[in-house]
Amino acid sequence: MEKLIKELAKMPGIGRKTAERLAYYILRLPAQEARELSSAIEELKKNGRNCLRCFGIAVDEICHICADPKRDNTVICVVEEHKDLFSIERTGHYKGVYHVLLGHISPLDNVHPEDLTIERLIERTKNGTVKEVILATNLNVEGDTTASYIQKRLSALGRRDIKITRPARGIPQGSYLEYLSGAVLANAIDARTTF
């Protein structure tokens, strides 16, 4: 029990109290559900990798979102991290595809554009199917810097048929996407404005 609590408490946002609550929850789980939980963790670690197209989490070469014919691949939503993709997916509202940057530009931390997946994003927008790129980076200095850089790069392509937008309404400056409520996030993506 103590071992499990210790491991859980290492997770982001999980303090000792929450770790204890989770451990007791797991203790009371029916055996089958506990097995499913541990095998989900094992499978993810064994088979999880970045999607070759969007850098989201995939089991195969292409993730289930990129592979879904019902998703609108004319719209790409650019996010910093996998957790941001999950936050937007949870709203159940967005029907386009994604591009995960795997970070943000931050010269102070020695993270430069070439350390992210920006080149691959530029490549993706060149094939003629993309009509809109939503820059859904966090609304803080790093997120804004990253969005501005990508906007410049996309504009430099001279493609007037690609709209560049940014979610806006209801998101206060300084916000991290992952902490927004589903309703606020869905609303902000709906109400996105030209960047």
The site for Zn ion (CB under 5 A) is made up of 51, 53-54, 56, 63, 66
Residue 65: CB minimum distance to Zn ion, A? 5
Closer to Zn ion by CB, 53 or 192: give it.
Answer: 53
Residue 66: CB minimum distance to Zn ion, A? 3
5, 19 contact by CB (below 8 A): yes
Residue 62: CB minimum distance to Zn ion, A? 6
Both structure tokens of 58: 């995939």
Residue 102: CB minimum distance to Zn ion, A? 13
Angstrom distance (rounded) from CA 15 to CA 65: 32
Closer to Zn ion by CB, 66 or 147: give it.
Answer: 66
CA distances from 187 to 80, 91, 94, 169 (A): 19, 10, 10, 7
Closer to Zn ion by CB, 23 or 88: give it.
Answer: 88
Angstrom distance (rounded) from CA 8 to CA 14: 7
Residue 52: CB minimum distance to Zn ion, A? 8
The residue type found at 103 is G
Torsion angles phi and psi, residue 165, rounded to 5: -130, 170
The residue type found at 172 is P
Closer to Zn ion by CB, 26 or 122: give it.
Answer: 122
Strand pairing report for 132-135 and 163-166: parallel
Residue 118: CB minimum distance to Zn ion, A? 16
> How close are the terminal C-alpha atoms of the chain, in Å?
50
Cα torsion 54, 56, 59, 65: sign: negative
Closer to Zn ion by CB, 70 or 160: give it.
Answer: 70
Closer to Zn ion by CB, 58 or 105: give it.
Answer: 58
